Structure 1
């Protein structure tokens, strides 16, 4: 067998990979946005305390998790639909 053999993925495996790509990228973006808003709130409103940053990161990660859960459960709760 050649070392350059092409592995053909089944449609269900491809759909699962597409969903994971959306979930991971969505969670990273939401967490980064929460971090950004937390830093801004910390600097302008809370005299450079750390809790707004952690609160923002927590909200972002939680939102990413909940939207990922909705994607895997098949619900369309206002999130992007992964097309196969």
Structure 2
């Protein structure tokens, strides 16, 4: 797995499932099959068609929030 910290990318040899078990769920949120975000880095969320959404980070990076993970993100990100 790759971990992005600002412009730096680290290679970490572990599974996403194992990494998620170690992260604080009040600070990190899974938004797609292979994407976890630090909630303090989320700037805005834009609803998209068919139940998905787009998450925009503080640095302008745009990430997809899939329909599968939208229900779990609803309260955390303030989605309708």
TM-score (norm 1): 0.20
Please identify which structure carries the higher strand content: 2
Larger Rg: 1
Structure of greater relative contact order (alpha carbons < 8 Å, 6+ residues apart) = 1
TM-score (norm 2): 0.21
